[in-house]
Amino acid sequence: MKEFKKYSLNIKGRLVEIERPLVMGIVNATPDSFYDKSRVLDSEAIAARVSEMVAQGADIIDIGACSTRPGAQVATQEEEIERLNVAVPATSEAAPGTILSVDTFRASVARHCVEQLGVDIINDISGGDIDPEMHTSVAQLQVPYIVMHMRGTPATMQQFTHYDSDVAAVVLEELARKIDSLHQMGINDVIADPGFGFSKTVEQNYRLLSCLDMFHALEVPLLVGLSRKSMIQQVLGCTAGEALNGTTVLNTIALMKGAHIVRVHDVKEAVDARELVCFTRNH
């Protein structure tokens, strides 16, 4: 089992120590996310979902208001902000003091969420490729930034699954270049996400998971998003609604390989996996 490497994040002047893996609960304030039971649209439903996640042990709540599933119809900037204007305050009220992340690839949305809504972390599935202003904005906002590996856009990403050499080596190299650039811009708190399910085939996703140890060479915390994804569904022949057990298995593998954050729809099961892996690691 991989030894757990500790990191810290500067969140608005508060030093958050990552001394054990963190569980990030997903809140989808969208009508079209791939897992229908994760969708919560009004403030009451959002508050109830967030309260349940925090009670189950979520360390971070990640709010998305623009679906990024394969082939998704991208919400407009106005739609995304309108949804976040409901979801973020409802989350803050339901879980005061909990770290809040917003899943967006738009710099203007990131700026609005940090400056107007008090969000702590920006989670960018495109790693700055869709909106060239994103990295400059995050540098100015001085918040932790999750840089994910993806090619193309949510609508086109599965057209870009050809890699000239080993997928893990290529993704590692591309993330390393971005992280170096981000550090040079003064963005010190970077979290890396290999981007499971984004611009990768099923086989490539499992190759990434088997090589997850390699990504510790980036010397930043690693976030893994495997929850109920098609890479589980296609191997097991199940639906997203039936993919919880598979999700827990893959999260356990990622945690054993030293993942720092697991991003999940189902918090309790992820917390249980985390506790058992940590207990095993320490004995």
Q: How many domains does the chain have?
A: 1
Task: Outline where the chain has alpha helix (H).
Answer: 43-56, 77-94, 107-117, 134-141, 167-184, 202-210, 230-236, 244-256, 267-281
From first CA to last CA, the distance across the chain in angstroms is 11
Q: Residue 131: its pLDDT value, please?
A: 96
Tell me, what CATH number does 202's domain have? 3.20.20.20
Asked whether the beta carbons of 226 and 251 are under 8 A apart, the reply is yes
Domain with 177, as residue range(s), is 20-281
Candidates 49, 178, 263, 274; catalytic one: 263
Candidates 200, 229, 257, 274; catalytic one: 229
Position 15 in a domain = no
Q: Residue 60: its pLDDT value, please?
A: 98
Position 6 in a domain = no
Position 109 in a domain = yes
Please name which of 236, 194, 212, 231 lies closest in space to residue 70, comparing C-alpha atoms: 231
pLDDT digits (tens, 9 = 90+) for 225-281: 999 999 999 999 999 999 999 999 999 999 999 999 999 999 999 999 999 999 999
Position 8 in a domain = no
Kindly give the confidence (pLDDT) of every residue in the chain, 283 residues in length, as a single tens digit, with 9 standing for 90 and above: 999 999 999 999 999 999 999 999 999 988 765 555 656 778 898 999 999 999 999 999 999 998 776 666 678 899 999 999 999 999 999 999 999 999 999 999 999 999 999 999 999 999 999 999 999 999 999 999 999 999 987 778 888 899 999 999 999 999 999 999 999 999 999 999 999 999 999 999 999 999 999 999 999 999 999 999 999 999 999 999 999 999 999 999 999 999 999 999 999 999 999 999 999 999 9
Position 11 in a domain = no
- Across-strand partners of 14? 11
- CA 226-100-31 angle, to 5 degrees, is 60
Position 170 in a domain = yes
Give the pairing type, strands 190-193 and 60-64: unpaired
Position 74 in a domain = yes
Position 7 in a domain = no
Active site residue 229: yes
- Across-strand partners of 24? 60, 263
Please report the sign of the dihedral spanned by the C-alpha atoms of residue 185, residue 191, residue 196, residue 197: negative
Please name which of 130, 134, 21 lies closest in space to residue 122, comparing C-alpha atoms: 134
What's the whole-model pTM score? 0.95
